[in-house]
């Protein structure tokens, strides 16, 4: 059995050269090789192309490299979690490329597998498809994406043996497993290095053949940024909770369900283990339970896609981001409940960008909108200025075409029945006249008495 060299942080970051393509594992700060990133920030290495789901947080992880001006271009799916990354991109100080989260994960997996690229329905008809080859396959428009490889990959594992076999903790697989296959030099930052044989073969997530170097580094709560602990105190309006309660009625025992951020997050608070609903989070977990009540954070618990520590219900499972989005695109998620900015008469959805506002990230929205069997949108009926969100044609950048099945607002419930936007219910306190006056889209009325 080979022995993988164990080196220092300083020796590791010296392997990264000016102009390199650097892959960095992690989802937020969970499973993030933060010690390697911080050591690299102490060097003069520059003009890097940084590839990761997001660029850490402000001043943490990749955020340190960005603050130092070491990153020339960033490629990822959700930069919004780091305001400094958004500002740098919008001011033209750093080049950037946005990819849907599942597309990013699959592109890295393809690059690691020696596959040139692939076609995916995710992002078809949206801004992110512009300039890319498209093809209709089995009647569905699909977008071509090239595989991604890097010069160096920094990954974070919980344990390694001296042969380089890696095992990850809970939701820390995320982007790490794919990235460990997709670079010329793979450096694994690990909590513990043990002799060969101490990791059972069936517990190896990344075989040692992919790993070139090991670095031992101990994780602390300070390394986890906003996921370090849970603050469960939040006030929720009655109208928002009514939307969450109505969405809950659509979920049945045994359904695999993914909940987006915003109003959909409230649905998670209403789900009980007895209900038999299987919660999916796109960073790699099935069987998501409620937020821990003991104040524990990401050192103790798995983390969901909102970067919030959660519990694991009996029967839960962990996997990486590429497998997670294969579940989504393969239509193994029964229902996705997402927030929305606009929905139009043709069931098109816009929910990821507002021109001029500091939003720079699509995350998993495009994958879920096009891949879930049923898509439910929860949103306020109007914007703060009173303008409608249910419109004849979406004006904001599109997330997915003809994808929405149901809309739940604070005023009404709509369904697309035979392709027709149809009003089916009024929410508590709402009147038909109010719904008519605040909806600019044409709709059919089929209210039950």
Residue 249's nearest CA partner among 435, 104, 378, 78 is: 378
Do the Cβ atoms of 8 and 35 come closer than 8 Å?
A: no
Please identify which residue in the block is written with the tokens 């919008």.
90
DSSP assignment of 339-388 equals: E-SEEETT--EE-S--TTSS--B-TTHHHHHHHSSEEEEE--SB-TTS-B
Could you give the residue ranges of the DSSP H alpha helices within 214-351?
238-248, 263-270, 321-329
Residue 73 and residue 220: Cα distance in Å, rounded? 29
Could you give the residue ranges of the DSSP H alpha helices within 80-127?
83-90, 101-112
Whether 282 is catalytic: yes
Residue 310 and residue 296: Cα distance in Å, rounded? 9
Residue 177's alpha-carbon distances to 14, 157, 189, 322, 367, in angstroms, are 23, 9, 13, 9, 20
26 torsion bin: left (phi>0), alpha (psi -120 to 50), beta (else): left
Spot the catalytic one: 84, 282, 342, 345.
282
Element (H, E) at 35: helix 34-40
Task: Report residue 414 as tokens.
Answer: 């709509």
Please list the residues that pair with 336 across neighbouring strands: 258, 375
Please identify which residue in the block is written with the tokens 């109007």.
382
Do the Cβ atoms of 407 and 390 come closer than 8 Å?
A: yes
Residue 118 and residue 108: Cα distance in Å, rounded? 11
Residues annotated as catalytic are 282
């Amino acid at each position: 059995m080979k022995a993988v060299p164990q080196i220092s942080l300083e020796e590791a970051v010296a392997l990264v050269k000016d102009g390199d393509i650097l892959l960095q594992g992690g989802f937020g700060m969970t499973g993030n090789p933060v010690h390697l990133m911080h050591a690299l920030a102490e060097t003069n290495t520059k003009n890097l192309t940084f590839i990761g789901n997001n660029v850490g947080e402000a001043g943490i992880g990749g955020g340190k490299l960005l603050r130092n001006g070491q990153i020339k271009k960033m490629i990822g799916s959700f930069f919004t979690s780091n305001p400094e990354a958004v500002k740098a991109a919008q001011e033209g100080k750093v080049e950037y490329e946005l990819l849907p989260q599942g597309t990013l994960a699959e592109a890295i997996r393809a690059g690691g597998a020696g596959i040139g690229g692939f076609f995916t329905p995710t992002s078809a008809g949206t801004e992110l498809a512009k300039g890319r080859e498209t093809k209709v396959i089995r009647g569905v428009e699909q977008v071509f994406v090239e595989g991604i490889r890097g010069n160096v990959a920094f990954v974070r594992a919980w344990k390694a043996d001296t042969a380089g076999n890696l095992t990850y903790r809970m939701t820390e697989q995320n982007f790490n497993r794919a990235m460990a296959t997709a670079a010329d030099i793979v450096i694994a930052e690990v909590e513990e290095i043990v002799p060969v044989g101490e990791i059972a073969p069936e517990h190896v997530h990344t075989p040692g053949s992919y790993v070139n170097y090991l670095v031992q580094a101990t994780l602390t709560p300070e390394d986890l940024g906003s996921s370090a602990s849970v603050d469960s105190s939040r006030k929720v309006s009655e109208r928002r909770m009514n939307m969450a309660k109505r969405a809950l009625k659509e979920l049945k025992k045994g359904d695999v369900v993914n909940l987006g951020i915003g109003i959909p997050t409230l649905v998670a608070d209403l789900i009980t283990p007895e209900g038999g609903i299987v919660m999916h989070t796109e960073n790699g977990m099935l069987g998501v339970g409620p937020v821990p009540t003991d104040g524990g954070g990401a050192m103790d618990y798995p983390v969901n896609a909102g970067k919030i520590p959660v519990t694991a219900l009996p029967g839960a499972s962990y996997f990486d981001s590429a497998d997670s989005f294969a579940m989504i695109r393969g239509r193994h998620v029964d229902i996705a409940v997402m927030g929305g900015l606009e929905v139009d008469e043709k069931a098109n959805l816009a929910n990821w960008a507002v021109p001029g506002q500091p939003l720079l990230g699509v995350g998993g929205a495009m994958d879920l909108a096009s891949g879930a069997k049923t898509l439910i949108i929860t949103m306020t009926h109007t914007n703060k200025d009173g303008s409608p969100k249910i419109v004849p044609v979406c004006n904001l950048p599109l997330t997915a075409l003809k994808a929405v099945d149901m809309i739940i607002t604070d005023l009404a419930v709509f369904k697309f029945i035979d392709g027709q936007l149809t009003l089916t219910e009024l929410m508590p306190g709402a009147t038909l006249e109010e719904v008519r006056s605040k909806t600019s889209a044409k709709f059919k009325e089929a209210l039950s008495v």
